[in-house]
Amino acid sequence: MKHNRGLTAFALTLVATAAMASSHREAPYISGMAKVDATDLYLFKSYETGRQDFVTVLANYQPFQDPQGGPNFYMFDPNAQYEIHVDNNGDGVEDLTFQFRFQNTSKTTALNVGGKSVKIPLINSGPISGVNPASLNVRETFTVDVVRGDRRSGTRASITNAANGQAQFDKPVDNIGEKVFGGASGYAAYAAQHVYNVAIPGCATPGRVFVGQRKEPFYIAVGKIFDLVNLNPLGAESGGNNNDLEGKNVSTLAMELPISCVTANNDPVIGAFTTASVRQGRLVNGRPGTGLGRASIEGGPWVQVSRLGMPLVNEVIIGIDDKDRFNASRPKDDVANFADYVTNPALPAVIQTLFPSARAPTNFPRTDLLSVFLQGIAGLNRPVNTVPAEMLRLNTSIAARTAATQNPLGVAGGDNAGFPNGRRPADDVVDLSLRVSMGALCVLTGATDALQVGCRPSDAPAGGLALTDGVRKTAANYGTTFPYLTTPLTGNLNPVAAAGTTFP
């Protein structure tokens, strides 16, 4: 297809708002708080062999990590609280919350230099192997509590290591480099020792937990998009452009949970979202140096500063003046606070202004977007009883697909185990979100409205366009066992991806 100026303007407006890589630095306030910035949430039925009775949830934080992040690398914030919430009755309120807290402890490793004991300036003093070796100068640990009911006032209990009953877990240090970990494959073996079988109070079956650095799983052609869309948005869906996140890492909270433990009331649909909170008050310490994480004194109630469920919501849907407000909000209040952004979205109207032949959908209110983002699609992943609230929703009764049979276009590609029925690492949420915003569901539902989204193909003249950023991955680019995301890039290597290439 001929690439013309009108098409470029059309694609620029459509894609640029999503180009900050899902929820990486998506709102003004959180842009300055990288440690508590949620980037992506994944929720899917486990497709590791023999784990069909489990769901996996991955919450990624701390965007745009350069592998060479020394000497401190990317520890979690010990003054913050990271949470994964599960709604299992459709009311838009968490029923289960998994709360992660971190502690960073210096071992004050020192060398004798000219007769004086001097603390080393590095996070490690030599090669690293095993859990908490002497050569690791800063030990990062975490705890996980499960809260049933309200996240602040509900019943709380500690998740423990099924092997020894302890409630404290070690987090692997980031991938410093091959010399530290004994070769190219050394870090993978080291990190694998930090996958824990865990006892979850109230659950008869153990789950699994992993917290640590992973290779950034999200993929998008950020650079070319901001270069006035220096690509063909109706061109090849795969191999045409660089994935500009190939050289980045991310920090992951990973849980594998028994389906029987997270579902309720004979309804197989669950919803999930992740949040991060900090203390309301912070007093900067004028004399820092009293230990790791003591540059400030913090107190008061927890205040939510980051929220993430469905991908790209804060970027593509929420107006810039309300982005911080959205991050501080709870799903149950979405209709009262943000409904107009979903039912009467501004983005398609702007697109039509710049590219008149790409006419915006005409079905107002946009019930198709309401279904995807706030309710779930009827017959697919809508709870039996539902209050409109933005979160990822997964029908746990739909069988998982093996990595070899997954379609990155999920439901739109005939794969009901994929997005928007939950989200797997390989699901191409950029292409899908672009298409849905222009009415793809109105086309997919057909003249009889089989998906019950409240529109028809005639309502969305541009709903059939195969919009793409030219970057596509498949499940083959990820792991096939928990935690699925691949080994982070090593700190002594900063690869630059050629067009169409990926790194494992």
pLDDT tens figures, 145-188: 999 999 999 999 999 999 999 999 999 999 999 999 998 899 99
CA distance 256 to 211: 12
Average pLDDT over residues 50-60: 98
From the centroid of its chain, how far is CA 478?
Answer: 15
Average pLDDT over residues 465-471: 88
* Angle at 323 (CA atoms; ends 320, 324), nearest 5 degrees: 130
Q: Is the pLDDT of residue 498 over 50?
A: no
Q: What is the pLDDT of residues 249-277, one digit of tens each?
A: 999 999 999 999 999 999 999 999 999 99
3-class secondary structure, 116: strand
CA distance 88 to 393: 10
Report the mean per-residue pLDDT for the chain. 89
Q: Is the pLDDT of residue 17 over 50?
A: no
pLDDT at 151: 97
Among the ranges 295-299, 341-345, 500-504, which has the highest mean pLDDT value? 341-345
pLDDT at 434: 83
Amino acid letter for position 477 = N
3-class secondary structure, 315: helix
The proportion of the chain whose per-residue pLDDT surpasses 90, expressed as a percent, equals 74
In DSSP terms, 215 is beta-bridged to 249
pLDDT at 223: 74
More confident residue, 424 or 493: 424
- Integer CA distances (angstroms), 359 to 118, 235, 355, 438, in order: 68, 20, 8, 8
- Integer CA distances (angstroms), 204 to 54, 199, 260, in order: 13, 8, 9
Phi-psi domain of 465 (left: phi exceeds 0; alpha: psi -120 through 50; beta: other): beta
166: closest CA among 136, 199, 139, 133? 199
* Angle at 250 (CA atoms; ends 247, 251), nearest 5 degrees: 160
First to last CA, the chain: 32
Q: Which helix (H) or strand (E) holds 283?
A: strand 269-284
pLDDT at 2: 36
Average pLDDT over residues 63-73: 91
